[in-house]
Amino acid sequence: MPDSQPAVSLRGVGRRYGERVVLRDVTFDLAMGQTLVVFGPNGAGKTTLLRMLATLLRAHRGEVSVLGRALPDDGYAVRGQIGFLGHEPLLYRELSGRENLRFHARLHGVLATRVDKVLEAVGMAHRADDPVAECSRGMVQRLAVARAVLHEPELLLLDEPLANLDPAAITQVDPLIGAQSGRTRVLTSHDPAAGLAEADLVLGLKGGRAELLAPAADVTTDQIAELYA
Amino acid sequence: MRGTVAALLAKELALELRTRESVPAMVMFSITTYVIFHFGLDANTVDGDLASGVLWVTLLFAAMLGVNRLFVAEHEQGGFDGFLLAPVDRTAMFVAKAITLFGFLCVVEIVAVPAFALLLLGPPLGQALPGLIVVLLAANIGIAVIGTLVAALAIQTRARDLMVALLALPLLVPVVLGAARATAPLLDHGGAQALPGDWLALLALYDLLFALIAYAIFDFLLED
């Protein structure tokens, strides 16, 4: 995909659940390698936006393009290049972390040796053979990070990725999902200062509308706080 | 697709071995039902049509337990999303689930059929066994295909257990009818008769029809 083409492009995108509209007329472009941070109160449409970009939901209005491919028609072509970290870890509780990651590695056509590398990278190698059900929330989140980056995706979609992680774990996963990962990222946050520090572009959603869309350098924490007022 | 199906099957096997949620329940249900029939029918032995009916109705309801559980882990633990995020043919999930259910049914029958012979069957099972295995395999394919399709539909609804029964039982009537009619001569009190080819052919045709339908529409069941 040429670098001049946006990694993510939305044009007038809308989405509803039944009669309830959760996204209205959302438009933005995100360049390759950049980070978009999405702010907004609960129910603003952040998770829906991420799930749409992950090909898990369809837009009911407008056009969505991810890594140069139009969704949902070309979803198959981009799935292997997207790393999705949502509220659910997408891990089977009765299987161990290693078994879960090996399963996902097989689905993504990734070598089993990569599983050990990511387990080491998230600091879970020593508990990799414990059932996920016996892991703490923070450990499960580390495993979920490992799952999301297992196939070395170009685009990361991260829904409050640092939830449940202690400071040491945050430092540990930063090379994988932080700014230094070098990947294009769309992430949601409720922390204006921390979110702004991560962002190249800021999107503020309220009631499904894009109330704020600007380069991070032009946005203040007060403007973000207003979204939650 | 073969690699994806293999990965899904390995995961299904690991989950069942770890949780033991489906197969033991199906086995226990079958044996308990045969015990109830043993006392409820007030007959020491059954044969022919009655034996065939008792065998197949019990196996059908035991299968419903497995159908109900088939997609629970995917629904409750994010397995659907994890799978849908991968660049794989989505029909692989149907194939893997149908093979899983088929495998569960075979394991259940390895225990349930001898238990049925021991508790209820008049004529010796040995003579009927080769033909019975053919009928069991043909019926298992039909139950696995239809059960997987119905389970995928029902898991999206609130009244999952109810929906499985409401959708699967009518669709499985031809399977049970065909299987029971094909089995009856095998369990005749005068010794096993020839396997009725017409009923077996009906079973095979029904299996094929639903396999094609499921293959065509399963992708859409997973869509948003």
Q: What are the pLDDT digits (tens) for A88-112?
A: 999 999 999 999 999 999 999 999 9
Phi–psi pair at A210, nearest 5 degrees: -85, 95
Look at A94 and B4 and tell me if their CB atoms are within 8 Å.
Answer: no
**Containing H/E element for A217?**
none
pLDDT at residue A183 above 70? Answer: yes
Q: Percent of chain B at pLDDT above 70?
A: 99
Q: In Å, how far are A7, A101, A148, B114, B178 from A65, measured between CA atoms?
A: 8, 28, 20, 59, 51
Q: Which residues in chain A are contacts of B6 at CB distance < 8 A?
A: 106
Q: Percent of chain A at pLDDT above 70?
A: 98
8 A C-beta contact, residue B207 and residue B176: no
pLDDT at residue B81 above 80? Answer: yes
Q: Which residues in chain A are contacts of B14 at CB distance < 8 A?
A: 95, 99
Nearest Cα to A144, choosing from A127, A122, A114, A126? A122
Look at A95 and B15 and tell me if their CB atoms are within 8 Å.
Answer: yes
Look at A58 and B224 and tell me if their CB atoms are within 8 Å.
Answer: yes
Residue range B156-180: mean pLDDT, rounded? 91
pLDDT at residue A2 above 60? Answer: no
pLDDT at residue A199 above 70? Answer: yes
Decide which of B192 and A187 is more confident: A187
Residue range B139-154: mean pLDDT, rounded? 95
Decide which of B57 and B222 is more confident: B57
- Among B85, B88, B90, B219, the residue to mutate for chain A (most A Cβ within 10 A): B85
Residue range B115-140: mean pLDDT, rounded? 91
CA distance B175 to B168: 11
CA distance A14 to B122: 67
Look at A91 and B77 and tell me if their CB atoms are within 8 Å.
Answer: yes
8 A C-beta contact, residue B198 and residue B140: no
Compare all CA atoms of chain A with the CA of B3 and give the residue at the minimum distance. A106
Residue range B24-45: mean pLDDT, rounded? 90
CATH number of A8-227: 3.40.50.300
- Among B77, B88, B220, B222, the residue to mutate for chain A (most A Cβ within 10 A): B77
pLDDT at residue A1, as a whole number = 59
Residue range B32-47: mean pLDDT, rounded? 86
Look at A103 and B10 and tell me if their CB atoms are within 8 Å.
Answer: yes
pLDDT at residue B138, as a whole number = 95
In chain A, domain spans: 8-227
Nearest Cα to B151, choosing from B70, B30, B76? B70
Residue range A166-183: mean pLDDT, rounded? 90
Question: Helix, strand, coil: what percent of chain B each, to 5?
Answer: 80, 0, 20
Residue range A124-146: mean pLDDT, rounded? 94
Q: How confident is the model at residue A180 (pLDDT cuts 50, 70, 90)?
A: confident
Please give the structure tokens belonging to residue B5: 């199906």
pLDDT at residue B220 above 90? Answer: no
pLDDT at residue B156, as a whole number = 83
Residue range B85-108: mean pLDDT, rounded? 95
pLDDT at residue B222, as a whole number = 82
Residue range B18-45: mean pLDDT, rounded? 91
Look at B78 and A91 and tell me if their CB atoms are within 8 Å.
Answer: yes
Residue range A216-222: mean pLDDT, rounded? 90
Q: How confident is the model at residue A3 (pLDDT cuts 50, 70, 90)?
A: low
pLDDT at residue A8, as a whole number = 95
Residue A55 Ramachandran class (φ > 0 left, ψ -120 to 50 alpha, else beta): left
Size of interface A-B (CB pairs under 8 A): 73
Q: How confident is the model at residue B158 (pLDDT cuts 50, 70, 90)?
A: confident
pLDDT at residue B192, as a whole number = 67
- Among A87, A88, A96, A103, the residue to mutate for chain B (most B Cβ within 10 A): A103
pLDDT at residue B69 above 60? Answer: yes
Q: What are the pLDDT digits (tens) for A28-79?
A: 999 999 999 999 999 889 999 999 999 999 999 999 999 999 988 898 899 9
Kindly report the pTM of this predicted structure: 0.90
Look at A88 and B223 and tell me if their CB atoms are within 8 Å.
Answer: no
pLDDT at residue A130, as a whole number = 95
Give the gap in angstroms from C-alpha A84 to the nearest C-alpha of chain B: 8
**Segment among A128-132, B131-135, B219-223 with least mean pLDDT:** B219-223
